[in-house]
């Protein structure tokens, strides 16, 4: 029985409800009147409090995803861009993954870290190695990391993860600092989530991989991750443990994308219904080639057009949720989806354990890589590329550090207020990047961008303070925020 408020996985991700939804979407995919109504419902509306968007239910959004009428798809794309502009402006938040350990006791059939893989050396960073990795990441200009580890209670217990977080936050190298550590580790207990919260993590990220229970069990044949309910209910435990920013995701390619899309939105509706706050972010990874993994054996792979449509439909359905795309995608694909709703991207990423320290941008270790990186440009190249397209690469971590997380973030974001601080914060952190890490070419395009963009700050007090802070940053001061 479908019940978004239930805490039982198979009730809030009901297979029957997903099938009914897909059936409804298929029957209505050419119903132009209904599609127009849905697009109208989702479009931004001006209210006394600012701009608001209603979002869509999983059923309504599934009708959009099923629709193949070119003019309607074009309308979806322009609505997605409009919504993105309304809540995220032209800012793109930057981050990098940091792989701590590839020890893993699971057997995920798409992941090279599965424990039967003898092709890859197993490696776990020592605290000294973490210092070296984080120093290298700081020297690139990163301020926000996503830490990644396989699941192994002996080699990577929660104490190890906590120690690593502590080390990462403690490293202050030149003007560098990691100001937000997001965590992507296997589902765990409420008690462990409490410890992660206490350690000061940003978002807890856990990809569902697939919402289809049977496929899930087949794709995770052994190990703790085999348990569909435990994995699917992890975000509820995280929220019980006090983590109010959680990040969902599906690994596209494993099962039918329309099924995954409906499941993903039902998961978001469930979090909102039970905890009063939806997911902070949604990630959209696609299966990639890796050590002993051939992506072609997964026959549900999606092409770039469908991928773009999924991103646009997610943007329309959950307008206040950040959307993340990693370097699994190449430059062209990233370019296309940036305008459709992506708000966060990684840059200069290495997916191997110990992939940053001691390697130049041209050399990259492949032996412990989790997957092939398609976008192999340096962070500086990605930053310049964004600026050339009139995006503001943002290294901001202010919301989380000012306690604007969970429903506090959402309620500000929902009335467009978050932009009053996000825009100047993005400019100030970009200025820091230009001063400390940028190449001459990037600096040459970044400075004029900041001068142009500061005029978009409408509040005169905030604008004057931003000017003042930008000068202070040029004079060597750091870490200003609204
Ligand atoms: N071990 C943790 C867990 O089980 O959730 C998370 C860490 S894992 C390093 C991060 C994510 O990488 C996984 O959730 C999965 O979606 C993704 N991944 C695994 N193998 C992949 C592949 N071959 N291509 C692309 N993404 C992959």
Nearest ligand 1 atom, CA 290: 23
So what's the pLDDT on residue 416?
Answer: 59
For residue 319, how far is its CA from the centre of ligand 1 (angstroms)?
Answer: 25
The ligand 1 atom at the shortest distance from the C-alpha of residue 288 is 24
Q: What is the pLDDT of residue 415?
A: 64
CB neighbour list of residue 157: distance below 8 Å, 6 or more residues apart: none
All residue ranges of the chain with pLDDT < 50 are none
**Residue position matching structure tokens 């050399």:** 363
The residues near 352 (Cβ < 8 Å, ≥ 6 apart) are 99, 364, 365, 366, 367, 368, 369, 370
In the block, residue with structure tokens 């397209």: 389
Contact 418, 87 (CB under 8 A): yes
Nearest-atom number in ligand 1 for the CA of 289 is 23
| Sign of the CA dihedral running 41, 44, 50, 52 | positive
For residues 304 and 336, what is the distance between their CA atoms, to the nearest angstrom?
9
**318: which residues sit within 8 A by CB, 6+ positions away?**
55, 265, 268, 278, 279, 282
Residue nearest to ligand 1 atom 14, measured at CA? 207
Separation between Cα atoms, residue 433 and residue 94, nearest integer Å: 11
* Helix ranges (DSSP H) in 339-459: 379-388, 398-401, 406-414, 418-436, 440-453
CA of 277 to the centre of ligand 1 (A): 25
User: Which residues in 258-267 are b (16+ Cβ under 10 Å) and which e?
Assistant: bbbbbbbbbb
Minimal-distance CA residue to ligand 1 atom 5:
186
At residue 72, the pLDDT reads 98
Nearest CA to ligand 1 atom 18: 111
Q: Closest Cα to atom 1, ligand 1: which residue?
A: 150
Q: Give me the pLDDT at residue 419, please.
A: 65
Residue 341: per-residue pLDDT: 95
**CA 286–ligand 1 middle distance (angstroms):** 10
**CA-based nearest residue to 324, from 464, 205, 445:** 205
Nearest to 349 by CA among 334, 321, 369, 323: 369
User: Nearest-5° angle of CA 143, CA 147, CA 149?
Assistant: 165
Record the tokens describing residue 265, joined without a space: 């939105």
- 205-257 per-position pLDDT tens digit: 999 999 999 999 999 999 999 999 999 999 999 999 999 999 999 999 999 99
Joined together, the tokens standing for residue 128 give 């000294």
**Distance of CA 163 from the midpoint of ligand 1 (Å):** 22
Q: How many C-beta atoms surround the C-beta of residue 388 within 10 A? A: 12
Token pair belonging to 473: 């940053």
| pLDDT score of 288 | 95
* Angle, CA 204 vertex, CA 198 and CA 207 arms, to 5°: 155
Nearest protein CA to atom 13 of ligand 1, as residue: 207
Q: How far apart are CA 209 and CA 204, in angstroms?
A: 15
pLDDT of residue 227: 98
Residue with the nearest Cα to atom 4 of ligand 1? 186
- CA 111 to centroid of ligand 1, rounded, Å: 6
**pTM beyond cutoff 0.95:** yes
The atom of ligand 1 lying closest to the CA of 111 is 20
pLDDT tens figures, 339-362:
999 999 999 999 999 999 988 877
The dihedral through the CA atoms of 113, 117, 120, 122 has a sign that is positive
Distance CA 157, CA 153 (A): 5
Do residues 397 and 91 lie in contact, with contact meaning Cβ atoms separated by under 8 Å?
no
Pocket of ligand 1 (CB under 6 A): 110-111, 148, 150-151, 184-186, 206-207, 209, 225, 251, 285, 287-288, 290, 293, 328, 370-371
User: Can you tell me which atom of ligand 1 is nearest the CA of 328?
Assistant: 25
In sequence order, which residues have a C-beta less than 8 Å from that of residue 409 and are 6 or more positions away?
A: 245, 280, 399, 418
Cα of 83 from ligand 1 centre, angstroms:
29
Distance CA 106, CA 56 (A): 36
Q: What is the pLDDT of residue 179?
A: 97
* Residues near 92 by beta carbon (within 8 Å), at least 6 away in sequence: 338, 342, 343, 344, 345, 386, 391, 392, 393, 394
Q: Are 52 and 17 in contact (CB under 8 A)?
A: no
Ligand 1 center to residue 164 CA distance, Å? 20
Q: What is the DSSP letter of 182?
A: E
Contact status, residue 316 vs residue 56, Cβ threshold 8 Å = yes
């Amino acid at each position: 029985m479908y019940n978004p408020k239930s805490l039982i996985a198979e009730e809030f991700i009901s297979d029957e409800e997903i099938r009914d939804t897909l059936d409804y979407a298929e029957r209505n995919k050419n119903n132009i009147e209904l599609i127009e109504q849905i697009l109208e419902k989702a479009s931004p509306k001006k209210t006394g409090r600012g701009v608001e968007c209603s979002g869509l239910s999983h059923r309504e959004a599934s009708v959009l995803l099923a629709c193949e009428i070119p003019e309607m798809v074009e309308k979806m794309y322009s609505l997605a861009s409009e919504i993105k502009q309304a809540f995220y402006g032209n800012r793109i938040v930057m981050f990098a993954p940091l792989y701590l350990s590839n020890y893993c006791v699971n057997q995920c059939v798409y992941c090279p870290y599965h424990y039967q893989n003898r092709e890859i050396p197993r490696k776990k960073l020592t605290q000294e190695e973490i210092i070296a990795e984080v120093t290298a990441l700081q020297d690139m200009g990163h301020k926000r990391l996503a830490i990644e580890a396989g699941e192994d209670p002996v080699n990577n217990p929660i104490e190890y993860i906590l120690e690593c977080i502590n080390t990462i936050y403690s490293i202050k190298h030149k003007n560098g600092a990691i100001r937000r550590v997001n965590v992507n580790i296997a589902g765990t207990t409420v008690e462990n989530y409490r410890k992660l919260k206490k350690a000061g993590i940003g978002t807890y990220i856990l990809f569902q991989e697939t919402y289809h229970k049977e496929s899930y069990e087949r794709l995770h044949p052994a190990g703790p991750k085999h348990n569909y309910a435990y994995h699917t209910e992890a975000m509820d435990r995280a929220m019980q443990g006090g983590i109010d920013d959680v990040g969902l995701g599906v690994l596209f390619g494993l099962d039918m994308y329309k099924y995954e899309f409906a499941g993903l939105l039902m998961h978001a509706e469930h979090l909102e219904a039970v905890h009063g706050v939806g997911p902070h972010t949604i990630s959209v990874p696609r299966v990639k080639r890796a050590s002993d993994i051939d992506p072609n054996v997964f026959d549900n792979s999606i092409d770039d057009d469908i991928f773009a449509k999924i991103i646009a439909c997610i943007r329309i359905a959950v307008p206040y949720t950040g959307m993340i795309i990693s370097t699994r995608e190449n430059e062209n694909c990233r370019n296309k989806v940036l305008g459709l709703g992506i708000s966060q991207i990684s840059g200069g990423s290495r997916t191997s354990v110990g992939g940053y320290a001691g390697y130049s941008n041209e050399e990259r270790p492949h032996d412990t890589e989790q997957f092939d990186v398609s976008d192999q440009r340096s962070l500086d190249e990605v930053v310049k590329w964004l600026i050339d397209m009139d995006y503001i690469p943002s290294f901001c971590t202010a919301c989380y550090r000012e306690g604007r997380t969970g429903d506090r973030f959402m309620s500000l974001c929902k009335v467009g207020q978050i932009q009053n601080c996000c825009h100047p914060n993005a400019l100030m952190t970009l200025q820091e990047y230009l001063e400390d890490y940028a190449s001459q070419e990037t600096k040459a395009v970044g400075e004029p961008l900041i001068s142009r963009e500061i005029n978009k700050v409408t509040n005169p007090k905030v604008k004057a303070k931003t000017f003042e802070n930008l000068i202070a940053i040029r004079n060597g001061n750091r870490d200003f925020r609204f």
